[in-house]
């Protein structure tokens, strides 16, 4: 694979804008990464949850993630901790009768025609990622992914690629287990979305990722896709992409043509 290792975010980058993928992963253009309050908040929420609600964990404030924003995020976590889902997953993490694990990195590669586990930094790694929280109970492996911000539980396609990658890894890790449940837990809303994966469809899951990566590698043009996300793109901000400007010019041209037709 030309551009491996792949991650869910890397594949998602090509999906929402092939040009951004080219600039970042093929041309390897370096631009300053812009952090924002939402990213800081998400990182802080993850750090607390993945350390069993240790509110004393070091997480510095700055001009963007101010002490006030940190306190607001902390209140979100405390509210979640006292909720049904917060209590449920806290009890799973503390239950010594079941196997649970926070924050595990993984790698998957193809070797001798078979999909096998490998190290996260393995040079032959095909797909890699990191799980927030997992536990095995009653012959089922549960994978939990903490989400801050907007709730997407009613969106049919949300999280499919991410949870499927995790499930492929877990199927390789637990060869005697047949059912895997991925859950996206929306911390600020106290809700979750569940997707079930079963071992009998393992080959279909692998084929799904094979097709995704082949789509990326067979792309010869890497066109830009304009969307609301362009406003947050550092490549556009630092002048490496004119897609938004071009779109504005097209819009002005269309409006002028419309005016001339109307009058």
- Count other C-beta atoms under 10 Å from residue 32's C-beta: 8
Please check whether residue 177 is in contact with residue 198, taking contact to mean a CB–CB distance below 8 angstroms: no
Q: Residue 252's pLDDT band (boundaries 50, 70, 90)?
A: very low
Spatial separation of the C-alpha atoms in residues 35 and 49, rounded to whole Å = 21
Spatial separation of the C-alpha atoms in residues 187 and 203, rounded to whole Å = 33
Please determine, looking at this structure, whether the domain spanning 8-34+83-258 carries the CATH number 2.40.160: no
* pLDDT 10s digits, 81-117: 999 999 999 999 999 999 999 999 999 999 999 999 9
Please check whether residue 184 is in contact with residue 158, taking contact to mean a CB–CB distance below 8 angstroms: yes
* pLDDT 10s digits, 27-74: 999 999 889 999 999 999 999 999 999 999 999 999 999 999 999 999
Spatial separation of the C-alpha atoms in residues 68 and 57, rounded to whole Å = 17
How does the average pLDDT of the chain come out, rounded?
Answer: 92
Radius of gyration of the chain (CA): 21
Model pTM?
Answer: 0.89
Q: How far is the CA of 133 from the CAs of 6, 145, 150, 224, in angstroms?
A: 21, 7, 20, 35
Whether the pLDDT of residue 248 is over 50: the answer is no
- Count other C-beta atoms under 10 Å from residue 101's C-beta: 11
Residue 259 confidence (pLDDT): 40
Residue 245 confidence (pLDDT): 52
Residue 255 confidence (pLDDT): 41
What is the biggest distance separating any 2 CA atoms in the chain, rounded to whole angstroms? 78
Q: Which residue has the higher pLDDT, 150 or 256?
A: 150
220 φ/ψ angles, rounded to the nearest 5 degrees: -105, -10
DSSP string, the chain: -TTPSB-HHHHHHHHH-HHHHIIIIIS---------HHHHHHHHHHHHHTTTS-TTS-----SSS-HHHHHHHHHHHHHHHTSHHHHHHHHHHH-TTSEEEEEEEEEEEEETTEEEEE-TT-TT-SEEEEEEEEEEETTEEEEEEEE-SS--TT-TTTTHHHHHHHHHHHHHH-TT--EEEEEEEETTTTEEEEEEEEGGGHHHHHHHHHHHHHHHHT-SS-----SGGGGG-HHHHTTS--HHHHHHHHHHHHHHHHHHHH-
Q: What percent of the chain has pLDDT over 70?
A: 92
Q: Where are the domains of the chain?
A: 8-34+83-258
Q: How far is the CA of 79 from the CAs of 75, 134, 263, in angstroms?
A: 6, 22, 59
* pLDDT 10s digits, 142-183: 999 999 999 999 999 999 999 999 999 999 999 999 999 999
């Amino acid at each position: 694979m030309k551009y491996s290792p792949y991650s869910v975010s890397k594949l998602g980058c090509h999906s929402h804008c092939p040009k951004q993928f080219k600039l970042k992963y093929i041309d390897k253009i370096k631009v300053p990464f812009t952090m924002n309050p939402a990213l800081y908040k998400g990182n802080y929420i993850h750090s607390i949850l993945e350390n069993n609600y240790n509110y004393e964990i070091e997480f510095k404030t700055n001009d963007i993630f101010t002490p006030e924003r940190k306190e607001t995020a902390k209140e979100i976590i405390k509210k979640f901790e006292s909720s049904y889902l917060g209590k449920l997953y806290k009890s799973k993490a503390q239950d010594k009768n079941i196997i649970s694990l926070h924050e595990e990195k993984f790698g998957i590669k193809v070797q001798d025609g078979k999909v096998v586990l490998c190290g996260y930094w393995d040079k032959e790694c095909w797909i890699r990622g990191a799980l927030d929280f997992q536990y095995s109970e009653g012959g089922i492996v549960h994978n939990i992914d903490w989400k801050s911000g907007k709730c997407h539980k009613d969106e049919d396609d949300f999280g499919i690629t991410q949870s499927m990658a995790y499930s492929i890894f877990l199927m390789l890790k637990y060869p005697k287990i047949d059912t895997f449940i991925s859950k996206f837990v929306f911390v600020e809303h106290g809700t979750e979305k569940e997707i079930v994966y079963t071992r009998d469809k393992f080959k279909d899951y692998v084929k799904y990722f094979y097709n995704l990566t082949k789509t990326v590698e067979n792309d010869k043009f890497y066109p830009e896709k304009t969307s609301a996300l362009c406003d947050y793109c550092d490549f556009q901000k630092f002048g490496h992409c004119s897609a938004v400007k071009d779109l504005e010019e097209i819009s002005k041209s269309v409006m002028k043509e419309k005016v001339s037709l109307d009058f």
